């Protein structure tokens, strides 16, 4: 009888887990070839992600936030190999991510899992919970014995605070929060070290969101997990993050520790996002309302993409794309001419 797998003790916090360098993903959304020839239309390229760089270290949670369509979920899919980068590279434990597709990359694949946004669509409605959670164990050939697999499934259900009897039920018999717990249990089956969480609480009620987020924080503490957390909910990001990256039209515009982002944001777009949060304490401080609409990503503005909505834009902002630079503190990175020139 095969023994139930035990997690490998985690190395010390601080080891570099993920490194993305100049990451880009472009989609060809051109009309069909015949239409382009007859109507003399050019190719149309959507730059969903365009030159994103960041690092994630063991035990931390990096959150990516921004308006819908800014490229957050595309980054998530790039990191788990669902999309192939158009440009740039992703290193996972010091090895290139594309090695996961080779025979020698099986161990690497086991360390990386994803929790999807919709708990209703991410679970097979025809499978029992036991088969859903056991699927990664069978796919990676980690356990062969039926009793060992059942024991591991019961252990995972207990970790996400569900009953062992739940393994004989179907997904439709659970609430949204319970389904997301099942998704988390499935993601934990291979003893991963890095989880990509693509808005895992956005489809849940507020009270259920808090339960799932607390569960994820407890699992991170107990199992030494590292998260990339995608969200547009700043309250959720404040609760779970160590560092926060703010994206706009496929680019990172600010990356800083959570406390810095929420207390002293530097980029005008970050300030606008935070000013949109209702002020229940009625502090009376001056706020800058979010102005304008997100530009068409198929035809982005010249220079800084945010300049049509920015109250601090000048001629340089309209002409020149700002570089994503580290500020003197080293912990904060910003892509903004006004910050670089000391105007804000």
Task: Tell me the per-residue pLDDT of 132-153, one tens digit each, with 9 for 90 and over.
Answer: 999 999 988 888 889 999 999 9
Give me the residue label for tokens 């997301």. Answer: 180
**DSSP secondary structure of 40-65:** TPPP-EEEEEEEEEEEEETT-EEEEE
Query: In the prediction, which pLDDT does 10 show?
Result: 40
Residue 81 in tokens: 């190999």
Rounded Cα–Cα distance for residues 197 and 188 (Å)? 12
Rounded Cα–Cα distance for residues 30 and 77 (Å)? 22
CA distances from 297 to 35, 209, 261, 310 (A): 22, 31, 26, 17
Rounded Cα–Cα distance for residues 133 and 183 (Å)? 8
**What is the pTM (predicted TM-score) of this model?**
0.88
Query: In the prediction, which pLDDT does 68 show?
Result: 86
pLDDT digits (tens, 9 = 90+) for 78-130: 999 899 999 999 999 888 888 777 776 778 888 999 998 888 888 999 999 99
Question: Residue ranges of the alpha helices (H) in the chain?
Answer: 33-39, 72-79, 106-110, 129-139, 146-159, 176-188, 206-223, 234-240, 258-263, 268-275, 315-319, 337-340
Domain limits, the chain: 242-344
Residue 273 in tokens: 């996002």
Report the DSSP pairing between strands 16-28 and 61-65. unpaired
Q: Which residues of the chain fall short of a pLDDT of 70?
A: 1-13, 104, 279-291
């Amino acid at each position: 009888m095969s023994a139930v797998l035990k997690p490998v003790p985690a190395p010390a916090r601080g080891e570099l887990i993920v490194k993305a360098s100049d990451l880009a993903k472009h989609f060809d959304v051109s009309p069909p070839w015949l239409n382009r020839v007859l109507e003399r239309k050019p190719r149309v390229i959507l730059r969903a992600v365009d030159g994103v760089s960041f690092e994630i270290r063991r035990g931390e949670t990096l959150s990516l936030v921004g308006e819908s369509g800014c490229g957050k979920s595309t980054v998530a899919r790039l990191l788990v190999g669902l999309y192939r980068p158009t440009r740039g590279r992703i290193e996972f434990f010091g090895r290139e991510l594309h090695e996961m597709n080779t025979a020698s990359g099986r161990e690497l694949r086991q360390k990386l899992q994803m929790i999807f946004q919709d708990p209703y669509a991410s679970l097979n409605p025809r499978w029992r919970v036991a088969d859903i959670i056991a699927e990664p164990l069978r796919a990676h050939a980690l356990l062969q014995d039926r009793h060992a697999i059942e024991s591991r499934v019961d252990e995972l259900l207990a970790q996400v605070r569900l009953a062992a009897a739940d393994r004989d039920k179907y997904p439709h018999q659970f609430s949204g929060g319970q389904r997301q717990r099942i998704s988390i249990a499935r993601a934990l089956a291979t003893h991963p070290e890095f989880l990509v969480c693509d808005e895992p609480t956005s489809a849940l009620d507020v009270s259920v969101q808090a339960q799932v987020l607390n569960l994820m924080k407890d699992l991170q503490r107990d199992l030494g997990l590292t998260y990339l957390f995608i969200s547009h909910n700043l309250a959720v990001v404040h609760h779970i993050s160590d560092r926060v990256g703010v994206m706009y039209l496929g680019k990172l515009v600010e990356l800083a520790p959570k406390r810095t982002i929420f207390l002293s944001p530097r980029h005008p777009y970050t300030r606008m996002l935070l000013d949109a949060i209702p002020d229940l304490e009625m502090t009376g401080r001056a706020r800058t309302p979010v102005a304008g609409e997100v530009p068409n990503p198929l035809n982005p503005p010249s220079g800084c993409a945010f300049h049509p909505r920015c109250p601090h834009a000048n001629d340089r902002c309209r002409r020149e794309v700002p570089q994503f630079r580290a500020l003197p503190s080293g912990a904060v990175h910003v892509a903004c001419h006004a910050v670089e020139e000391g105007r804000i």
